[in-house]
Amino acid sequence: MKDIATPNRTKDIVEKYGFSFKKSLGQNFLIDTNVLNRIVDHAEIGSESGAIEIGPGIGALTEQLAKRAKKVVAFEIDQRLLPILDETLAPYGNVTVINKDVLKADVHEVFSEQFEEGQDVMVVANLPYYITTPILFKLLEEKLPVRGFVVMMQKEVGDRLA
């Protein structure tokens, strides 16, 4: 099966579903499998690990996480992406997509329903510029029992947080 994260496959998926990006959601899709694998490598996801992803888009990062993790839970706010994710992630029975805004979701409830007690879990995401800080602060304030965070963000956000 061909990876989702290629320019041609991404273009084909977007065209097939007539998807148009919402600037208000800061949507962008990763199209380089090497970059995605580096993200997952840094997260040190293993066969017994869990992963929480925020904003899976069409599922490129989700796919790479699903290849390595025991369980992946992805929060997607954009309902238009759900049929795309149903198709692109169909081969992976270890993925659950939750159509909720992570800022409004009861993340503790989701965590306890989706992961085993004591399971090694990482937050891994390619965060949109406008919502990076609120998401990070919410997840830190919630004190989820995760090992850590591996997130991609725009340089300006990283500079501001540093």
- Tens digit of pLDDT for each residue in 30-65? 768 888 899 999 999 999 999 999 989 889 999 999
E strands, 12-85, in order? 50-54, 71-75
pLDDT tops 80 at residue 124? yes
Check whether 65 is labelled as a binding-site residue. no
User: Does 3 count as an annotated binding residue?
Assistant: no
- Tell me: pLDDT of 145 over 70: yes
For the chain, the domains span 7-161
76 is in an annotated binding site: yes
DSSP code, position 104:
T
* Angle made by CA atoms 45, 71, 37, in degrees to the nearest 5: 35
Instruction: Output the average pLDDT for the chain.
Output: 87
Contact between residue 129 and residue 154 where contact means Cβ atoms under 8 Å apart = yes
**Where is pLDDT greater, at 69 or 151?**
69
- Is 103 marked within a binding site? no
Q: What per-residue confidence (pLDDT) applies to 20?
A: 65
What are the φ and ψ backbone dihedral angles of 15, each rounded to 5 degrees?
A: -70, -40
Helix, strand and coil percent figures for the chain, each rounded to 5? 45, 15, 40
Task: For residue 41, say whether it is annotated as part of any ligand binding site.
Answer: no
- Is residue 78 marked as binding? no
* Among the ranges given (47-61, 73-87, 146-160), the one the predictor scored with the smallest mean pLDDT: 146-160
Whether domain 7-161 has CATH 3.40.190.10: the reply is no
SS3 141: helix
